[in-house]
Structure 1
């Protein structure tokens, strides 16, 4: 799996996932809060299958210009 998520995207997914899971465990929201596992896992692995299907990447690209070295 090649990474296709940047730092901000990954961090937001991890935060949202943890919040949803915590709210579910605290019985503040229903069982649907377990959907937070999805953003948590994709954030931890920095890979989103939907991004791959759509050809999207939020990773920063490295400069290919060798004259700046």
Structure 2
């Protein structure tokens, strides 16, 4: 599995994922249970791999992707 998520992209994914999950837990009236969709950006940020990027041929990691 080649990594395809760069450092800034990784940080943004983790922050957005955690924010969505936190909103679902502490303020469900704001986003409802849809906030748990934040698990997806959180996991892609933690694993440095995005399946959608692979399908679209994108890479924010740069030339040194393994």
Structure 1 residue 50 and structure 2 residue 57: aligned? no
Which stretches in structure 1 are left out of the alignment for 5+ residues?
Answer: 63-69
State the distance in 2 between where 1:35 and 1:54 align.
Answer: 21
Structure with greater proportional helix content: 2
Which stretches in structure 2 are left out of the alignment for 5+ residues?
Answer: none
Q: Which has the larger radius of gyration?
A: 1
Size of the aligned set, in residue pairs, is 62
Task: Name the structure, 1 or 2, with higher relative contact order (CA <8 Å, separation 6+).
Answer: 2
Instruction: Please report how far the alpha carbon of residue 51 of structure 1 lies from its aligned counterpart in structure 2 after TM superposition.
Output: 0.4
**What is the root-mean-square deviation of aligned Cα atoms in Å?**
1.1
TM (norm. structure 2) is 0.87
Stretches (4+) displaced over 3 A? none
State the distance in 2 between where 1:11 and 1:27 align.
Answer: 23
TM (norm. structure 1) is 0.84
